[in-house]
Amino acid sequence: MIDADQLGKFGVERSKIAVLGLGHVGLPTALGLAELGWEVLGADDDTEKVALLRSGKSWFYEPGLQSLLTKHLASGKFQPTHEVAAAIRGASVLFVCVGTPQRESGAPDLSQVEAVARTIAQNLNGYKLIIEKSTVPAITGQWIKRIIERHARAEAPLRSANGTGATPDFDVASNPEFLQEGKAVEDFFHPDRVVLGVDSERARRLLEEIYRPLECPILVTTVSTAELIKHAANAFLSTKISFINMISDVCEAVGADVEEVARGLGLDPRIGPDFLRAGIGFGGYCFPKDLRALIYLAEEHGVDCAMLREVEHINQRRIELFLRKMRKALWVLQGKTIAVLGLAFKPNTDDVREAPSLKVVEALTQEGVILRLYDPQAASGAQKLFPERPSRLTYCSSPYEAALGAHALLILTEWDEFGRLDWTQIHEAMETRIVVDGRNLFEPSRMFEAGFEYWSVGRVSAQPTSQREGQAETLQLEGRGRR
């Protein structure tokens, strides 16, 4: 798919790309580019991660990733290496996918980005297009440029800059990723849009060439606009979630149904149906961190961010509200046995970073609850934070095992398999049949008919039939799954 002649026109001789950082963004990007026909040097200074990848195993679970890894290790199009400098020297196009973790203040820690910029500067053996893929604050591109100019070796190839003498020959571009964990591979090949932040014609044409095989709108902007689009997108989606969560509290107060409210809102094309699932709040490595990073950036520049602070505040309160609901259902929590279904921050991933489910687990541990945990993929990640404790905290191999002797069962991640549970089996296994569903997987009245007291989010809790007058009777057997 790569047109070598075209690349030559842009001053790029090798159809090689280096992806620097093989995390949740870097690895799907590297393998996606390999699938598009590029030779990809995947560099990461974590030797263990690289050794695992070389042995043919992805170091995290992501649908479709393992088969791409197997395919492109065999084809030779993906070469994992821990020699970052060598990868930089071996390619003209460099995707920067290193981590941008959060500091105490909420500011992103950009030390890995700076370190990679310095390594690039020391290995400029020809023209390089340096593409920020990691989520970074607007202005990072300018800093990368400055760092490279500052640290470039004397022998770096030069190009003349208008009236300012010669500068090292490179471009910095921003091409933010919009991959969602759990569908990162699908998102790579079928993006809603590709955003290209560039400040030179060469960078624009080269990036357009890279994304030519993908059919989607391409938006070309300046580097800092592209950087901001990413932060604004994540902040807006977080806002939608906190908004519907706030509405769900109102629903509970007045006896309305948040699922119906969300449906009614989503049918308005100006609002749209997505990201209106009420629940225990948003988590993961991106939303909480990116929201704080945007607030930090804006406030540093004197922009009032009260609105986004409230989005964060609503999200933080979800856990306490969920625990309050559990106390309403169970009264005393201490000493009770609770089954927890779902530990990952969302389905189809084994990622537990900033998982709301683990915040619930932590709070329940402190309350002296006996926990029986189950997740189809995320148990080993959770075990690193909450190790097994005999007769206090147990990891189970199925939802049914988790339900054994439980006084309540919590649903904290909406895995598809939870929508297909055999409730007769769960009913038999539990000590008292109470379900507290943080993801609204089921129709309340249906759960009551199956013999459970059922508490969910933003809806009337299940009660005996005599108290349910006026409630809709449109029931479905299966869980709702994800909208």
Residues 6+ apart with CB under 8 A from 193: 178, 216, 217, 218, 219
Residues 6+ apart with CB under 8 A from 133: 25, 26, 29, 95, 96, 97, 175, 176, 177
Rounded to a whole number of angstroms, the distance between the first and last alpha carbons of the chain is 35
**Is 251 one of the catalytic residues?**
no
Phi-psi region of 4 (alpha: psi -120 to 50; beta: other; left: phi over 0): alpha
* Beta carbon of residue 6, minimum distance to ligand UGA (angstroms, whole number): 28
* Beta carbon of residue 345, minimum distance to ligand UGA (angstroms, whole number): 5
Based on the shown chain and the rule CB under 6 A, indicate whether residue 444 belongs to the binding site for ligand UGA: no
C-beta of 42 vs 284, nearer to ligand UGA: 284
Based on the shown chain and the rule CB under 6 A, indicate whether residue 283 belongs to the binding site for ligand UGA: yes
Based on the shown chain and the rule CB under 6 A, indicate whether residue 284 belongs to the binding site for ligand UGA: yes
* Beta carbon of residue 261, minimum distance to ligand UGA (angstroms, whole number): 13
**H-helix segments, 93-222:** 111-121, 140-151, 184-189, 201-211
The one among 15, 174, 234, 337 contacting ligand UGA by CB under 6 A: 234
Q: Which stretch binds ligand UGA (CB under 6 A): 9-17, 26-34, 198-206, 234-242?
A: 234-242
Based on the shown chain and the rule CB under 6 A, indicate whether residue 132 belongs to the binding site for ligand UGA: no
* Beta carbon of residue 203, minimum distance to ligand UGA (angstroms, whole number): 22
Based on the shown chain and the rule CB under 6 A, indicate whether residue 346 belongs to the binding site for ligand UGA: yes
Q: Which stretch binds ligand UGA (CB under 6 A): 139-147, 179-187, 253-261, 304-312?
A: 179-187
Q: What element of type H or E holds 293? A: helix 287-300
Based on the shown chain and the rule CB under 6 A, indicate whether residue 202 belongs to the binding site for ligand UGA: no
Q: Which stretch binds ligand UGA (CB under 6 A): 172-180, 427-435, 454-462, 463-471?
A: 172-180
Angle at CA of residue 73, ends 67 and 77, nearest 5°: 110
Based on the shown chain and the rule CB under 6 A, indicate whether residue 446 belongs to the binding site for ligand UGA: no
CA–CA distance from 198 to each of 71, 97, 131, 141, 376 (Å)?
32, 17, 9, 10, 42
The one among 189, 275, 386, 400 contacting ligand UGA by CB under 6 A: 275
User: Do the beta carbons of residue 19 and residue 42 sit within 8 Å?
Assistant: yes
Among 97, 216, 251, 286, which one carries the catalytic annotation? 286
Based on the shown chain and the rule CB under 6 A, indicate whether residue 241 belongs to the binding site for ligand UGA: yes
Based on the shown chain and the rule CB under 6 A, indicate whether residue 108 belongs to the binding site for ligand UGA: no
C-beta of 345 vs 455, nearer to ligand UGA: 345
- Which pairing describes strands 370-374 and 337-341: parallel, antiparallel, or unpaired? parallel
**Token digits of residue 192:** 């809603």
The one among 29, 79, 112, 135 contacting ligand UGA by CB under 6 A: 135
Based on the shown chain and the rule CB under 6 A, indicate whether residue 180 belongs to the binding site for ligand UGA: yes
**Token digits of residue 195:** 């955003």
**Token digits of residue 430:** 């539990």
Q: Which stretch binds ligand UGA (CB under 6 A): 137-145, 161-169, 282-290, 469-477?
A: 282-290
User: Do the beta carbons of residue 88 and residue 128 sit within 8 Å?
Assistant: yes
Q: Which among 376, 375, 331, 369 is positioned nearest to 357, based on CA atoms? A: 375
Based on the shown chain and the rule CB under 6 A, indicate whether residue 210 belongs to the binding site for ligand UGA: no
Q: What element of type H or E holds 16? A: strand 16-20
C-beta of 92 vs 135, nearer to ligand UGA: 135
* Beta carbon of residue 136, minimum distance to ligand UGA (angstroms, whole number): 11
The one among 60, 178, 189, 400 contacting ligand UGA by CB under 6 A: 178
How many residues in the shown chain lie near ligand UGA by CB under 6 A? 21
Rounded Cα gap, residues 470 and 244, in angstroms = 24
Based on the shown chain and the rule CB under 6 A, indicate whether residue 177 belongs to the binding site for ligand UGA: yes
User: Do the beta carbons of residue 409 and residue 439 sit within 8 Å?
Assistant: no
* Beta carbon of residue 180, minimum distance to ligand UGA (angstroms, whole number): 4
**Token digits of residue 29:** 């990007």
Based on the shown chain and the rule CB under 6 A, indicate whether residue 130 belongs to the binding site for ligand UGA: no
Q: Which stretch binds ligand UGA (CB under 6 A): 54-62, 171-179, 296-304, 332-340?
A: 171-179
The one among 34, 53, 110, 286 contacting ligand UGA by CB under 6 A: 286
3-state helix, strand, coil in the chain (%, to 5): 40, 15, 45
CA–CA distance from 71 to each of 34, 57, 83 (Å)?
10, 12, 22
Residues known to be catalytic: 286
* Contacting residues toward ligand UGA, per CB under 6 A: 135, 177-181, 234, 237, 241, 275-277, 279, 282-284, 286-287, 290, 345-346
